[in-house]
Structures are given as C-alpha cells and as structure tokens.
C-alpha cells in the first residue's frame, strides 16, 4: 500500500548576501539555503539569486509550480546600488533596452524595462560584507524591473551603461514584496501572489 502524498509547501525567503541559491553540490566553505531553515525534502528554489545578491527568493516542493513561475513573464523588481551618480542618459538606455550583454557565450540584447533613480536612497541594514563607503566616490540607487531573467542580468546592464553594481537586492516578484522582512527570514505561504491568474495545482 502506497504512502499518502503530503501536500506541497511554498516559501518566501529573504536570501542573505553570501548564500548560494541551492541545497546540494556544496563547494568548499559555501553557504547553502539549507543552512537557513529546515526546509522539507524536495524543496527547490524558483529561479536564482547569485551568491552576492540579496532579497526575495521563492521556494516550493512542487515542480509544476516551479515550471509555471519560471515560464511566466512575471515582473521582478531590483534595487541596485551603483558606483557613481547614475545619469538620466544611463536610465534612458536601461529603459529602452537593446543593451548588449554576454549570455551563454553569445551576445543578448535586453528588452525594454522600467528603470528610475531612487532618490532618496532606500535604507537597508548593512550586509555582512560592507559595501565601500563614500570616501572611495559617491554611489546611487536605481530601481530596475524586468520580465526576463538572464544570468546576472541587472549587474551586466548597469555595467554596460557605465555604472557597475555594488549591491543588488530583489525587492519584488509579481505582487510579492520584500517589505520589512529581515535578512534570512523564511515565510511559509499557501500560494504565491504573482499578479497572474490563480494557480491551482493538485496538492
């Protein structure tokens, strides 16, 4: 007699700086998601944030849910602290798209996106590895909202327009906002509010 199947579970995480968005295949001295919380067996990250990036990360035990979310054109908003005071011209370039970035050994042209300078700058607690201070030159913050997600795309985009990213925080996925979630906090939810039609998968 087969065992009854447990309901699938879904989580929202504020991924801290310095963690890989994975559970297995641990390179030496790297921090994994399983170090943050006792996730159930079979939990997977939906998309990734690279080791140096922070913010919203969705996790689920439902492979169909993961495929659905990754396959949808779900908006993802990032706050990037960049080297220098970003100019209106650079903002306009980001908005127009067509920026050539390296992706899988080829050049990829970005799509138009939403972008604007954040003034005043957002307040976030210092990360575990401090960003350089103003003695080494000024910094500024920009909001970038994408409906695509190439590897390290935001970092490549800001560098291409002359303002390399120093700190990157994903603050929104669909209708899910980072808000005041502390770094490292995990919230279990019944479903993900992505701003798309309701998702109904067999539990």
Cα 120 → chain centroid:
22
In contact, 33 and 19? CB cutoff 8 Å: yes
Could you tell me where the DSSP H helices lie in 49-163? 63-71, 88-96, 153-160
Which of these is catalytic: 50, 119, 133, 198?
50
Active site residue 50: yes
- List the structure tokens of 189: 């939810």
- Which single residue is written with the structure tokens 């399983």? 34
- Cα–Cα distances in Å, from 198 out to 86, 89, 99, 147? 38, 39, 34, 19
Q: What is the DSSP letter of 33?
A: G
Rg of the chain over Cα atoms, rounded to whole angstroms, equals 18
End-to-end CA distance of the chain: 20
- List the structure tokens of 172: 């929104």
- Give the active site residues: 50
């Amino acid at each position: 007699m087969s065992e009854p199947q447990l309901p699938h579970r879904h989580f929202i995480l504020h991924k801290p700086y310095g963690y890989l968005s994975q559970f297995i295949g641990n390179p030496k001295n790297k921090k994994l998601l399983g170090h943050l919380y006792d996730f159930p067996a079979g939990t997977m990250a939906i998309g990734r944030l690279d080791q140096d990036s922070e913010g919203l990360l969705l996790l689920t035990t439902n492979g169909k849910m993961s495929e659905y979310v990754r396959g949808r054109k779900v908006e993802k908003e990032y706050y990037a602290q960049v080297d220098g005071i970003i100019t209106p011209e650079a903002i306009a370039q980001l908005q127009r798209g067509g920026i050539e970035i390296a992706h899988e050994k080829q050049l990829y042209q970005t799509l138009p996106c939403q972008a604007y300078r954040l003034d005043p700058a957002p307040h976030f607690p210092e990360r575990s590895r401090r960003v350089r201070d103003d003695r080494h030159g000024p910094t500024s913050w920009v909001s970038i909202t994408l409906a695509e997600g190439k590897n390290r795309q935001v970092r490549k985009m800001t560098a291409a327009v002359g303002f390399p990213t120093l700190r990157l925080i994903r603050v929104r996925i669909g209708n899910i906002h980072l808000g005041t979630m502390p770094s490292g906090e995990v919230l279990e939810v019944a479903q993900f509010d992505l701003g798309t039609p309701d998702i109904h998968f067999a539990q």
